[in-house]
Amino acid sequence: MTRINGFGISILAAAISAVNMGYAVAAEGPAADEEVIVTGVAQPTTKLSSTNSVTALPASDIENFAPRSTAEIFRNLPGVQAEATGGDANANIKVRGLPISAGGARYLSIQEDSTPSLLIGDMEFATSDSFLRFDNNVRSVQAIRGGAGSTQAPNSPGGIINFISNDGSDEGGSVAYTTGLDYDSNRVDFDYGKPLEDGWKYHVGGFVRHGEGPRDVPDDIEKGYQIKANATKDLENGFVRFHFKRLDDNVPTYLPVPAVADGNGGFKEVGVPFGDGSLYLQGNDVLNREGGRESTSLTNGFSSEVTTLGFEGELDINDTTSFGFLHKMNQISGQFVSPFPAEVYTDGDGDTAARIHYFNTKLDSLDNMFTDLNIKKEFETVSVKAGVFRGVQDYDAQWGWNTYFVKLDGALTPTTGPAAEPSFVAGHSLWGDCCSRTYDIEIENIAPYISLTGDIGENLTWDASLRRDFWKVDGTYAFSGPADADGYLTYGNASPVDYDLSYTSWSLGANYALTENSALFGSISEGGSATAPSRITGSLLANGDLNAEKSGYSTVEQIEVGYKYRGDNGSIYVTLFNAETQEAGGFEVTTQTVIENSYDSKGIEVEGEYDFGNGFAVAGGFTYTDAEITESNVAANVGNTPRRQADFIYNITPSYTNDKHNVGLNIVGTDDTYIQDSNEAKFDGYVVTNLFWNYDFGQDMSLSLNVNNLFDEEGFSEGEEGGPFAAGDFVRIRPINGRTASLTLRHFF
């Protein structure tokens, strides 16, 4: 079982001592402290009374962070390390040192209004963040790490991040126009809500946008819209709420770019600028698909189409018993088209060139449906919630990648391959044409659960929860078959997918109120996460079954203890954590390897805020993580630090507010990270500073200036080669975006 070390205990004691002396360090402010937390808990609670680490980011704070993607919002959540280098889709996200195994977010459930975006968070070319967008519909972003999060959603032992929508309780709305000052982006946001007669209220909003985005791409890839609406009927014995969403959005997706090692631990550009460059090409990509040959624009980017219909509610049966229900249906499709540098080489003319595998994955159906039915019963000293969750998820996808050879001369001029291949080759022979694939898989999850919440005396609250997940995965898949007469790859014979798996998740937590404004808390939990079927189909038995049940899911054991304080002028929350992960193997496309590790991570999260008076305030968070690979299918990696795991991540937001102005900086930093599990080379740490300035004209008008990466800092989040590097070695790395500035004019009504 997991343990907290003495170093962490001493830090916790020092933090408690400091607060009791009247000091506070960097969080999201008193209003967020008092927000009702509904994410990852059996009963609504507050930040101060929760038995877990929870955070609520108000929408107004998020807008000040100047995020250029959903993942950039998550960087301001303690314990969350979000690699926000991929654009507004396909982000890699880890929590408390739980690994980024092969992309996406395997141990984290990303939700909208308490239902998952996708049932499994790390499906290849279909990560959960790709199908939701932040806009004025969102009231706050709530997050829970560890603890009861393991039992309150599928695949969430690391935590849950939940976008909470406005519901029209307060009448009002706004319309805003945002334009990029130094990059091509134009966006209009709108929202409005109000209470109506007879207990009804509603909220509706969305956005429409058109442009290029923060990096240089050949066409206007960034284009689309979202409309979201909800309507609530308050009843004498409860409420009923209806949901609607339509997302049709196209965004560029940024993959690694070629570079060269400088011999001093750094990297130099090779034809593609780190701050705003990309490898996108002009023209069309032609592939064999099921049903015939298909042509796709090379500048398609990531397209997301989502239509959501749902309803939820709670009805009191009597004074002590209530019935809760939730049902959502999401019709989801899309396409992932983005260039990946599979090789960097010197061509026949002596020029540096790249072999580009043009990832072109068609997501025919990611449709899903979620249902949750539960009963709550209040007894004299304990509240019980029992229910059953059912989720169904399609993964109907077609992979197909052709190869393009280009000179890295700024213009990406066609050239010949290193073995005299022509500038275009059907398929991807460097990887043995491994990955022309088709999947038609349905995933079903049924999970009965029970949660208990109680009090002992006036100061101690506790909770316990248990969840049993049953999974059924069936369908077919086919890998690359023979090429046709024109050289285009076809699909081979279909193989079955037919396996079941199950596991139990549980949590125990307690919160002890020291005073009205301070508390000690702790929790212990164990949870599971099912592996995306596309990552294990190559190792299934001939009948479609797993070679061992444990190969289909991973487990995480966690323990956390912490201290909370909220005063008149500020607050502080300190959490020590320890997590042990036993991970099932998964195939990673870009490295052509199966990654199968176990991990141990421990550390401390600190978040807080302080109001100095006279308009000056500071808020933020800090996380230290000590993570280690404890088992691996690569023996030499045991004892190493997991790849892309920073020891320190932090954010701090100093601000000044008066009657007309609100100005500040959102500073986000990360420590050095090892590029790969071999620990032979590192990326340097970096600090991104974002500027915000809001001016109130009066007459319900405001103007906002946001600058993302104010000082044009250089940094990298991901690399394909692990080192060691000599001067002149070619590498492929994913850089952060350079400086971009935007201006927003907003009218409130």
β-bridge partners, 179: 186, 743
211-259 pLDDT, tens digit per residue, is 999 999 887 899 999 999 999 999 999 999 999 999 999 999 999 999 9
| pLDDT exceeds 70 at position 13 | no
In this prediction, residues 190-200 reach a mean pLDDT of: 96
Tokens of 628: 């280690």
Please check whether residue 719 is in contact with residue 673, taking contact to mean a CB–CB distance below 8 angstroms: no
Q: Of the given ranges (121-125, 204-208, 587-591, 688-692), which has the lowest mean pLDDT?
A: 587-591
Please check whether residue 81 is in contact with residue 93, taking contact to mean a CB–CB distance below 8 angstroms: yes
Q: How many CB atoms are located within 10 Å of the residue 695 CB?
A: 13
In this prediction, residues 146-170 reach a mean pLDDT of: 92
654-710 pLDDT, tens digit per residue, is 999 999 999 999 999 999 999 999 999 999 999 999 999 999 998 899 999 999 999
Structure letter (DSSP) for residue 418? T
pLDDT band per the 50, 70, 90 thresholds, residue 338: very high
In this prediction, residues 444-458 reach a mean pLDDT of: 95
- Return phi, psi of residue 633, to 5°: -75, -5
Please check whether residue 575 is in contact with residue 595, taking contact to mean a CB–CB distance below 8 angstroms: no
pLDDT band per the 50, 70, 90 thresholds, residue 14: very low
Q: Would you give the end-to-end CA distance of the chain in angstroms? A: 55
In this prediction, residues 354-366 reach a mean pLDDT of: 97
Q: Is the whole-model pTM more than 0.75? A: yes
DSSP string, 473-499: EEEEEE-EEEE-TTS-EEE---EEEEE
In this prediction, residues 717-735 reach a mean pLDDT of: 95
pLDDT at 17: 43
Let me know if 458 is exposed, middle or buried by CB neighbors in 10 A (0-12, 13-18, 19+): exposed
Structure letter (DSSP) for residue 197? G
In this prediction, residues 530-544 reach a mean pLDDT of: 89
pLDDT at 66: 72
pLDDT at 505: 97
| Residue with the larger pLDDT of the pair 307 and 590 | 307
pLDDT band per the 50, 70, 90 thresholds, residue 592: low
| pLDDT exceeds 50 at position 20 | no
388-435 pLDDT, tens digit per residue, is 999 999 999 999 999 999 999 999 999 999 989 999 999 999 998 988
Please check whether residue 591 is in contact with residue 612, taking contact to mean a CB–CB distance below 8 angstroms: no
| pLDDT exceeds 60 at position 7 | no
Please check whether residue 730 is in contact with residue 723, taking contact to mean a CB–CB distance below 8 angstroms: no
pLDDT at 93: 86
In this prediction, residues 499-524 reach a mean pLDDT of: 96
Structure letter (DSSP) for residue 45? B
Our measurement of the distance from residue 552's CA atom to the centroid of its chain's CA atoms, rounded to an integer in Å, reads 22
Averaged pLDDT score across all residues of the chain: 91
Give ∠ CA 635-639-643 in degrees, rounded to 5: 90
pLDDT band per the 50, 70, 90 thresholds, residue 104: confident
Residues of the chain with pLDDT > 70, as a percent, come to 94
* Burial profile 655-689: b = 16 or more Cβ within 10 angstroms, e = fewer: beeeeeebbbebbbbbbebbbbbebebbbeebebb
Please check whether residue 311 is in contact with residue 327, taking contact to mean a CB–CB distance below 8 angstroms: yes
pLDDT at 24: 34
pLDDT at 25: 34
Domains of the chain: 6-708+719-748 (2.40.170.20)
pLDDT at 551: 81
| pLDDT exceeds 50 at position 27 | no
452-487 pLDDT, tens digit per residue, is 999 998 999 999 999 999 999 999 999 999 999 999
| pLDDT exceeds 70 at position 282 | yes
CA 370 – CA 331 distance, rounded (Å): 12
pLDDT at 43: 80
